Structure 1
Amino acid sequence: MVPVACGTCGARVEARKSSWEQTSVQWNAEALAACSERRTAGTGAVFTGCPALRTTIRRAAAEGEFRAPPGYADT
């Protein structure tokens, strides 16, 4: 897992790519508080993830900022 900061709100999470389809993200309390998408979801609401962070993670992997599976950037 490597630190990744959201390009929109700056929330810092730990992320890992196992494949193009699979991403693991570890959120901490600070990141949850910083995430504008999470705040919009509201307390007690289902939070399925942040589209802006998802885009940031994909871009970081494609640009080689953290280790991604072989062929990641080709997909």
Structure 2
Amino acid sequence: MMRLDNRLTDGPAMRPLACDRCAARVLVRKSSWQQTSVQWDGRATAACAERGPSGGAFEGCGALRDTIREAALRGALPLVDGTGDVAPPS
């Protein structure tokens, strides 16, 4: 029997975060410095300056990635892994 990772249910919930560039508001959870979950809704998709109106394949928004990283560095977005690390690993 496969056991689900409790970090998803026991850790911090996804938090709203607005992109510093275009103010697209998404839900984010930072599980570790290497893993981030982002939920987009229709309003955020339309507001994203990098995503554009095409709605096609999208690898991610650099401005949002920077916003998430800065929020994690400031402690505004906690890391689920509980390491307490303030800075990303080098």
1:7 aligned residue: 20
Superposed structure 1 runs of 4+ greater than 3 Å apart? none
Unaligned runs of 5+ in 2: 1-13
Q: Is the 8 A contact 1:16 1:25 kept in 2?
A: yes
Pair 1:46 & 2:60 matched? no
Counting aligned pairs with the same residue, the percent is 53
- TM norm structure 2: 0.74
Amino acid in structure 2 at the alignment position of 1:21:
Q
Shift of 1:7: 0.4
Structure with the larger helix share: 1
- TM norm structure 1: 0.88
Q: Is the 8 A contact 1:20 1:72 kept in 2?
A: no
Q: Is the 8 A contact 2:75 2:86 kept in 1?
A: no
Q: Taking structure 1 as reference, are residues 31 and 52 closer, same or farther at Cα in structure 2, changes over 3 Å only?
A: same
